[in-house]
Amino acid sequence: DELIEDDDTPVRWFRTNLLKTNTESLMREFKHLRKVNTIEEITEPGVIYYDEYIPNLFGIHPKEKLTSTDAYNKGRLIIQDRASCFPAQILNPIPGKDKVIDACAAPGNKTTHLASILNNSKRSIVAFEKDNKRINTIKMMVEKAGGLDCITIHHADFLTTRQKDFPEITGMLVDPSCSGSGIFGRAFDEQEEMDKEEAKEKLADRLLSLSNFQFTIVKHALSFPNVRKVIYSTCSIHNKENEEVVRMLLEDVQVRSQGWRVSKREDVLPTWPRRGKSEVFEGYENKEELADGCVRALPKVDGGIGFFAVSFERDLPQDKDNN
């Protein structure tokens, strides 16, 4: 559902599926396109932009034919919004070393992006999806991407998983259900509704229950014994689902006792300019640093969907022994 097909999209993004090809070969199929240096220059078909934040990601004009190309149909490229590529890039697992869980996986954009980064390492990703319909979507996507050896798919509620069953897992992506307010159209509809007092209350109720669910599922991810890094993301523009969830987690007794902290900007796409909202961390001495650890994208003006991502990290005693 992050595959944006409406004409409103300022840029259509796609990435090389490293499970099937490499960028050099893929770009031979796009050599008719002229390279431009900024997304502002994507004003018409015929040009291509090589993204500066996400390796192997490209921007083209939305009117450019993409879904009819052989590369798309055979899965050599995957259409994925730029900001939606942030979580796997921030987690940046190491092939042959890391094993990761994607807790909320369908349709599988981020799961297959992880597989690309992990160099298709055998059984290095476990993906959970609880929805009866969406489980089929992710199965199809993983197969099309050529990721069946790398990705194990479980049709299950991640919240029912037991920590002791996954001692090998070192990192996690948690991209749970959210309001979707960063996706065009939806944000706009909401704005119109906001005029009515009743609608405002309804939205507040919805955001409250979503943020409680998001807190619960990230907290579960943070409770796995060998996990060093957990990325939480949403395609929401609301503080309630973003920095406020981070704040609730930082204030949770159990999360604190497990040694978790928000990763610093230097490890979270440091050159991406739009960061988290510091006012949500009011009262913290390091509130600017916490906000800087979060990345945000605004719908359209940042070249795609509205988005939020943050990284939690910790050191484990066994890591010190190795140093």
Q: Tell me which residues touch ligand SAM (CB under 6 A).
A: 2, 84, 104-110, 128-131, 134, 157-159, 175-177, 217
- The residues that are catalytic are 235
110 annotated as a binding-site residue: yes
Minimum distance from residue 91 beta carbon to ligand SAM (Å): 12
CB of 157 to ligand SAM, least distance (A): 4
CB closer to ligand SAM, 157 vs 201: 157
The answer to whether the annotation marks 319 as part of a ligand binding site is: no
Task: Confirm if 234 and 285 have CB atoms less than 8 A apart.
Answer: no
Is 189 flagged in the annotation as binding?
A: no
| CB-nearer residue toward ligand SAM: 134 or 186 | 134
CA distance 296 to 242: 9
**Residues counted in the chain:** 323
Q: How far is the CB of 318 from ligand SAM (least distance, A)?
A: 29
User: Is 51 known as a binding-site position?
Assistant: no
**In angstroms, how far is the first alpha carbon of the chain from the final one?**
43
Shortest Å distance, C-beta 276 to ligand SAM = 19
Cα-trace Rg, the chain:
19
Which DSSP symbol is given to 6? S
Residue 294 annotated as lining a ligand binding site: no
Q: Which is nearer to ligand SAM, 84 or 170 (CB)?
A: 84
Task: Return contacts of 272-280, CB within 8 angstroms, 24+ apart.
Answer: 272/53, 272/86, 274/298, 274/302, 276/242, 276/243, 276/246, 276/308, 276/310, 277/239, 277/242, 277/243, 280/239, 280/242, 280/243, 280/244, 280/246, 280/247
As measured in angstroms, the least distance from the Cβ of 138 to ligand SAM is 8
Whose Cβ is closer to ligand SAM: residue 217's or residue 246's?
217
- Three-point CA angle 6, 8, 10, nearest 5°: 115
To the question of whether residue 129 is assigned a binding role by annotation, the answer is: yes
Coil/strand/helix, residue 136: helix
Amino acid identity at 306: G
Report the residue number, 81 or 98, with the smaller CB distance to ligand SAM. Answer: 81
Q: Which residue is nearest to ligand SAM (CB)?
A: 104
| β strands within the chain, DSSP E | 12-16, 34-36, 47-50, 57-60, 77-79, 100-102, 125-129, 151-155, 171-174, 229-234, 261-262, 295-297, 307-313
Annotated binding site for S-adenosyl-L-methionine: 104-110, 129, 157, 175
